[in-house]
Structure 1
Amino acid sequence: MDETALAGFETKTVTPETRGLQDEMMRTFESFREANDARLAELERRMSADTLATDKVDRIAAALDAQNQRIERLALKEMRPALGQDRTRFGAPASEHKSAFERYVRAGDEAALRRFEEKAMSSLTGADGGFLVPEETETEIGRRLAAISPIRSIAAVRTVSTAVLKKPFAISGAESGWVSETAVRDQTAAPQLAELTFPTMELYAMPAATAALLDDAAVDIDRWIGEEVEQAFAAQESAAFVNGDGLAMPKGFMTYDRVDESAWAWGKVGTVGTGADGGFAEGEAADALIDLVYALKAGYRQNASFVMNRRTQSTVRKLKDEDGNYLWLPPAAAGAKATLMGFPLVEAEEMPDIATGACALAFGDFSRFYLVVDRQGVRVLRDPYSAKPYVLFYTTKRVGGGILDFDAAKLLDFSA
């Protein structure tokens, strides 16, 4: 959860519980270092590690992962705003749209919502029915998704009102040069442009509620809908942004053509090899990571992050540099990210595991590398008939995605 992802959230003091968990995690990391150092020393002496030592390292590593997840969940809970907060407490009445939407959700009263959308002349309501959620609810759903969806939290996000975003991109850059004050200016060559197309696809969730929940005036309906759909939307988005085929979902960055960095060309993602099939070359893991970092141009490195899944992270956590310092370090504070070689590390479970030929690790400036396109408008269709006695809320939003700048990230290829 970086600062961009948490934009708009209330600033809150770190609680003693969070601070205690952070201190506990740092102590666990020290235990991990000691146990792993002992395992490595055993390897050097006997050319094989003691099974008990290896098991101990794995147990501590698992505990470290669990503690980090607890801290992230607690930090997110502390920073999460109250969705659909009653603005009357701050001197402003609830919006007309919000009031009409609540009557629709609680009692199925469509009249007020229909009058509101006719007056607004909205073109965003789809042909399959449903009503737009209030702007406040849509905004907060987007903020929640940014906080828990790993790729969305670091990617560029654009909101559009059409089904497709078409974006021209200068591949070669504009021609330029130096001249003296009175010198003749030659006509510059036209820049080479490519048109990138990002269609939006429909993403849906279907939370269910009981009649008792809807009748309870103390239940914040907006907050309930947001909490129900955010996890479903985030899980589907995260998978699509990494491995989506681009047909009925966004195109994931791992599904584009890949080529060795020495032969990189626009439209392909550059890769750097580790020098060994299915792992790092003996004693050269840090060198492979350094090669990956410096395959990226300086302008991209300033805001770059590593992206990998938890199993890959468990491997790189044990790596050291030539001076015996660990390349991986735990988060310095609650809500911060672990770092690898000084760069933030983002955990995306959909990334592949380390295997021969797998590109299990990505590094780049994802705010320039990958674009998430949100079509304006989240729709809800109330269905009290399909699953009696429950009321279903068919909630949809349209999302697209794809690579924006093919030079802004590189992949680490685990092959010789």
Structure 2
Amino acid sequence: MTIQELMEKRAKVWETAKNFVDTHENENGVLSAEDNAAYERMEAEIEDLTKAIDRHRKAEQREKELSQPVNQPLTGKPYSGKQEEPKTGRASDEYRRAMLNAMRSNFRQVSNILQEGVDADGGYLVPEEYDRRLIDVLDEENIMRGLATKITTSGQHKINIAATKPAAAWIEEGGALTFGDATFDQKYLDAFKLHVAIKVTEELLYDSAFNLENYIITQFGSALANAEEDAFLNGNGTGKPTGIFDAVGGGHLLGTLTAAIKSDDVLDLVYGLKRPYRKKASFIMNDGTLASLRKLKDNNGAYIWQPSYQAGEPDRVLGYAVHTSAYAPKDAISFGDYSYYNIGDRGTRSFKQLNELFAGNGMIGFVAKERVDGKLLLPEAVQIMKLKVTE
């Protein structure tokens, strides 16, 4: 079944569930035990279809990545009347081939071209083509990298924030001018180290039929993306980035609910955000939280959650896009413009081979490392609503 067919089926189940509730609720808006069980089965089917849609999307992306040529990619362009400038350094095809040959030979065959990328501790920098493709994996797996502003830093990055702004004032004709002050605050993006390590057998490494390049990129990229997303959402700034849900450096806390969430609470969250930020705003929440929002209606009796009918488009609540993450807290919802969350990548990622550590087991280890920081520059650009925790 295709993604579009799954989405159409999910939409039909949702319409059936809505009609079921509308026709089976009593005058107090309560379902009988039997009807409630039937509705929960429909809810479970919607959940299963949503997971199937996400699974198919990831499978399509992986298939697209794995279908790319590996051994001899086409690097030339059609003749346009002028000679294309050759790639040099880590961007050269020679460096890329030398990197793969070194890895497949357990780094016994290291050509001189690799010396252009020698790390201070004996590791080998990833060729530039590899680094861009690893970025692609991180973008696909990490919702925050698709919503935030990404920059590359070479040192501690200082960002100026307008703290106070000048205000206009009326004066009488011939009256004296009044002068205000414009002050600025500063935010700093540092660099925290993140790494992932795997072990592979020598037989797997030497097997030329195995797509070693895509395997390493995909596995390392997914692991880094998961760790990053957790930090970008929940990090406290100690040894890791500061997340948008952090109580100190995260978004502005609108309030804490003392009862189950209602549609009016979601309206308060949306309109509690200043109008300029609402233009590009969206929700971030846990999958379990979204399940509870599906049952809510507005004052006109219409459901505030609307499933996506088109592949590639997110579901919406009150007309705003909804992004779900397994790492989002179950007791909070965020709504805001996440372009004010800055992700600073310090340089490029690096691979390092562990030649001797697992030699007795006939295995070779590989480590990918990166240095990254993330911080919300304007807390008022993101509103957080704390939910009542139900046991």
Q: Specify the SS of the correspondent of 1:349.
A: coil
Distance between the aligned counterparts of 1:386 and 1:206, measured in 2? 12
Given the alignment of the two structures, is residue 279 of structure 1 paired with residue 287 of structure 2, yes or no? no
Structure 2 residue 288 is matched with structure 1 residue 311: yes
Residue in structure 2 matched with residue 82 of structure 1 by the alignment: 65
* Whole-angstrom CA distance in 1 between matches of 2:250 and 2:158: 19
Query: Is structure 2 residue 363 aligned with structure 1 residue 390?
Result: yes
1:349 aligned residue? 326
* Residue 198 (1) aligns with residue 196 (2): no
Inter-partner Cα distance in structure 1 for 2:18 and 2:362: 55
Distance 1:137 1:188 in 2: 54
User: Cα offset for 1:85?
Assistant: 4.1
1:189 Cα offset (Å): 4.7
**Distance in 2, Cα, partners of 1:98 & 1:268:** 40
1:361–1:412 CA contact under 8 A, matched in 2: yes
1:99 partnered with 2:71:
no
Note if contact 2:95-2:113 (Cα within 8 Å) is conserved in structure 1: no
1:5-404 equivalence runs, <5 A: 17-38=2-23, 41-42=25-26, 44=27, 48-79=30-61, 81-82=64-65, 85-86=69-70, 88-91=73-76, 95-109=93-107, 112=110, 115-118=113-116, 125=119, 127-162=120-155, 164-173=156-165, 175=166, 189-257=180-248, 269-273=251-255, 276-280=257-261, 285-354=262-331, 360-368=332-340, 370-387=341-358, 388-404=361-377
Instruction: Return the alpha-carbon distance in structure 2 between the equivalents of residues 322 and 271 of structure 1.
Output: 25
Distance 1:78 1:186, change over 3 A: farther
The 2-side partners of 1:390 and 1:184 are apart by 83
Cα displacement (A) at 1:17: 1.7
Distance 2:129 2:32 in 1: 57
TM-score (norm 1): 0.79
CA displacement, residues 178-223 of structure 1 (integer Å, 9 cap, x when unaligned):
99xxx99979655211111122111111122222322222333321
Shifted more, 145-154 versus 320-329: the winner is: 145-154
Q: Does structure 2 retain, via aligned residues, the 8 Å contact 1:113–1:131?
A: no
Measured in 2, the distance between the counterparts of 1:90 and 1:270 equals: 48
Q: Is the 8 A contact 2:250 2:376 kept in 1?
A: no
Task: Output the CA distance in 2 between the equivalents of 1:113 and 1:66.
Answer: 51
User: Could you say what the CA RMSD is over the residues aligned between the two structures, in angstroms?
Assistant: 2.9
Give the deviation of 1:305 after TM superposition. Answer: 0.5
How far apart, in 2, do the equivalents of 1:189 and 1:113 lie?
64
Q: CA deviation at 1:115?
A: 4.2
Contact 1:36–1:318 (Cα < 8 Å) also in 2? no
Question: 1:114 and 1:367 mapped to 2: Cα distance?
Answer: 43
Structure 1, gaps ≥5 residues long: 1-15, 258-266, 355-359
- Partners of 1:332 and 1:199 lie apart in 2 by 41
CA distance in 1, matches of 2:242, 2:121: 25
Secondary structure, aligned partner of 2:379: coil
1:114 and 1:165 map into 2 onto residues whose CA distance is 34
Aligned mates of 1:31, 1:322 — CA distance in 2? 21
Q: Quote the offset at 1:229 in angstroms.
A: 1.1
Question: What is the identity, as a one-letter code, of the residue corresponding to 2:362?
Answer: P
Give the superposition deviation at 1:169: 1.4
Q: Distance in 2 between the 1:95 and 1:184 partners?
A: 71
- Aligned-residue offset at 1:63: 2.2
Q: Contact between 2:282 and 2:323, CA under 8 Å: does it hold in 1?
A: yes
C-alpha change, 1:314 and 1:113, in structure 2 (3 Å) is farther
Using a 3 Å threshold, how does the CA distance of structure 1 residues 211 and 404 change in structure 2: closer, same or farther? same
Moved more, 52-61 or 316-325: 52-61
Assess if the C-alpha contact under 8 Å between 2:8 and 2:309 holds in 1: no
TM-score by length of structure 2 reads 0.84
1:256-286 residue CA offsets vs partner (Å, 9 max, x unmatched): 33xxxxxxxxx77433337x51423xxxx22
Residue 344 (structure 1) shift: 0.3
**Whole-Å separation in 1 of the counterparts to 2:110 and 2:176:** 64
Partner in structure 1 of residue 82 of structure 2: none
Secondary structure, in 3 states, of the residue corresponding to 1:371? strand
Tell me which residue corresponds to 2:83: none
Letter in 1 for 2:353: R
- State the Cα distance separating 1:177 from its structure 2 match: 5.8
Question: Cα distance, 1:414 vs. partner?
Answer: 3.4
Q: How many percent of aligned residue pairs carry the same amino acid? A: 26
- Structure 2: gaps (5+ residues): 78-86
Q: In the aligned structure 2, how far is the partner of 1:20 from the partner of 1:250?
A: 39
Question: What count of residue pairs does the alignment treat as equivalent?
Answer: 367
8 Å contact from structure 2 (residues 333, 384) kept in 1? yes
Q: CA deviation at 1:228?
A: 0.8
